[in-house]
Amino acid sequence: MADVLDQAEVDALLAAVDAGQVPNGGSGAHARGKSRQTHDVRTYDFKRPERVSKDQMRALETIHEGFARNFGASLSGFLRTIVEVRVTSTEQLTYSEFIYSLPNPTCFNLLSAPPLEGQMCLEISPLIIYPIIDRLLGGSSAEVFIPQRPLTNIEQRLISRIIDRALNNLTEVWSALVEIKFQLNETESNPHLVQIVAPNEVVVVVGFELKIGARAGTISLCIPFNVIEPVMDRLATQSWLLYQQKAASERQSLELGRHVRRSSVELCSFLAETTLTLGELMSLQPGDVIPTEHPANGEVIIQVEGKDKYAGRLGQYKGAKAIKITRTIDPSTRL
C-alpha cells in the first residue's frame, strides 16, 4: 500500500509549495500524463468565419500575381517609365473592416464581372493616383502635393485610362478560371457611402503595391464571397492547375496561330533545269533560246522559303501568268 501522509507532513508539504521549494505541477508521472492529454487549441472568431480555404486563397493569390506582372508591364509602356506592381497581401475580412481601412476621399470603383452576379470593388490610393496624373500631364512625379479632395472630372477621365488597363488585365488572368469580363459601373470618392454587401459579409481582399520611381501607393481589390462562390470549386489546388494549364495552352495556340497567319514567306517556282558550259553562258544574247528536257506542259516545282513544297502547272489567270498548285511533294522529289 502507498504511504499515507499524516497532518504534519501535509502541512510541511503545503508550506514548501508556498515557499517555491516544490513545483505545484505535481509529480513527474502526473505531469507526463497531463502532457499526453494536451490538445491543439486554435482561436476561432465567429465574427470572421473563414469561408475560403487556404488552397483557394493560394490559388487566388497566384491569379493576381499574374495580374500584377501584366498590369506593371502595361503601365510601364503607357507611362513610359518603370512601374512595379506586386501582391502584398491576400486575406479574408468582413466588408465593414475593409471599408473602415480605406482613406476618405479615395478612388473607389465598383466593378461587375458578368456572368458572375454581384459587384466587386477596386480602390486606388490617392498616394499613387496623383503621381500618375502628374506623369500623364508631363511632370516628373518627383515632388507631387497630395490634395485631400475628390478627383475632378478631368482627373477622373485621366485615371479611367489606368482603370481600363487594369480591367483588361483582370479579364485576361481570370479567363484561365472562368470566362468573365470586368466592367466599370460607377466611381465614388467616399467608400462609406457604398454598400455592395452586408457589413458582416466575408470578402477576399487582394492588396497590391504600385511603385513609380520613389513614389508608392496601394491598390485593393475587394471580392465578396457570394460573387465568386459559384466558381470556388475550381480553385482547389489540382483543379486550378488543370484549368491553368488548359487555358495557358489554348491561349498559346491561339496567339501562335495569330502570329503565323500574319507572317510573310517567300514563294518561288523553278520552270526547268539544264546544264551549260561557261563558254555557252558567256555567249548568251537577248533572244537566245535555252532548250531543256522538261516538257512545256509538265509540272514545275514550287518552293516555300527555299524548300520544295508543291508541284504546279503553268497557265494564265485573268490575263496574267500564273501557276496552279496540283499537289504536295516531298523535298526529295525530282520533276
Q: Give me the percent of the chain exceeding a pLDDT of 70.
A: 81
Q: Where are the beta strands (DSSP E) in the chain?
A: 83-94, 107-112, 119-124, 183-188, 202-212, 215-224, 267-270, 300-304, 307-317, 320-328
286 is a domain residue: no
Q: Which of 234, 258, 282 is the last residue of a domain?
A: 258
- Return all residues near 145 (Cβ < 8 A) that are at least 6 apart: 130
Short-list 266, 261, 263, CA closest to 309: 266
Q: Where are the beta strands (DSSP E) in 214-297?
A: 215-224, 267-270
The tens digit of pLDDT for each residue in 80-98 reads: 888 899 999 999 988 999 9
Whether residues 119 and 247 share a domain: the answer is yes
Q: Give me the percent of the chain exceeding a pLDDT of 90.
A: 15
The pLDDT mean for the chain works out to 80
> How many structural domains are present in the chain?
2
Better-scored residue on pLDDT, 95 or 335: 95
- The CA distance from 265 to 176, in Å, is 33
Query: If you average pLDDT over residues 88-113, what whole number do you get?
Result: 90
Whether residues 182 and 309 share a domain: the answer is no
Is 90 exceeded by the pLDDT of residue 305?
no
37 is a domain residue: no
Residue 321: which CATH number? 2.30.330.10
Q: Which residue has 501582391 as its cell numbers?
A: 87
> Can you give the pTM of this predicted structure?
0.57
- The CA distance from 327 to 334, in Å, is 14
12 is a domain residue: no
Helical packing angle, 54-79 and 153-174, nearest 10°:
130
Whether residues 141 and 77 share a domain: the answer is yes
Residues in the chain: 335
Short-list 92, 87, 93, CA closest to 61: 87
User: How far does the chain reach from its first CA to its final CA, in angstroms?
Assistant: 113
Q: Cα 303 to chain center, whole Å?
A: 42
Whether residues 269 and 240 share a domain: the answer is no
Whether residues 268 and 234 share a domain: the answer is no
Geometric angle at alpha carbon 46, from 45 and 49, rounded to 5° = 85
Take residue 29 and report the three cell numbers written for it: 508521472
Residue 93: which CATH number? 3.40.1550.10
Whether residues 93 and 174 share a domain: the answer is yes
211 is a domain residue: yes
Question: Which amino acid type is present at position 251?
Answer: R
Are 141 and 120 in contact, with CB atoms under 8 Å apart? Answer: no
- The CA distance from 128 to 116, in Å, is 30
4 is a domain residue: no
- The CA distance from 325 to 294, in Å, is 18
pLDDT score, position 110: 92
Whether residues 245 and 268 share a domain: the answer is no
Whether residues 320 and 178 share a domain: the answer is no
pLDDT score, position 238: 44
Query: If you average pLDDT over residues 108-135, what whole number do you get?
Result: 90
18-22, 36-40, 193-197: the lowest-pLDDT one: 36-40
Q: Which of 258, 281, 311 is the last residue of a domain?
A: 258
75 is a domain residue: yes
- For residue 23, count CB atoms less than 10 angstroms from its CB and return exposed for 0-12, middle for 13-18, buried for 19 or more: exposed
- Return all residues near 173 (Cβ < 8 A) that are at least 6 apart: 63, 64, 66, 67, 70
Query: If you average pLDDT over residues 25-45, what whole number do you get?
Result: 55
pLDDT confidence tier of residue 290, bands split at 50, 70 and 90: confident
Whether residues 84 and 150 share a domain: the answer is yes
Whether residues 166 and 313 share a domain: the answer is no
Are 222 and 121 in contact, with CB atoms under 8 Å apart? Answer: yes
Take residue 30 and report the three cell numbers written for it: 502526473
- CA atoms in the 13 A half-sphere facing the CB of 205: 20
Whether residues 250 and 268 share a domain: the answer is no
316 bridge partner residues: 321
Q: Which of 258, 283, 317 is the last residue of a domain?
A: 258
The tens digit of pLDDT for each residue in 213-226 reads: 888 899 999 999 88
Q: Nearest 5°: phi and psi at 330?
A: -80, 145
285 is a domain residue: no
- The CA distance from 294 to 274, in Å, is 9
pLDDT score, position 163: 92
284 is a domain residue: no
Whether residues 253 and 269 share a domain: the answer is no
The tens digit of pLDDT for each residue in 243-282 reads: 555 555 566 677 777 777 777 778 888 777 788 888 888 8
Are 328 and 310 in contact, with CB atoms under 8 Å apart? Answer: yes
The tens digit of pLDDT for each residue in 138-196 reads: 877 667 778 888 888 998 999 999 999 999 999 988 887 788 899 999 998 888 888 88
| Domain containing residue 137 | 54-258
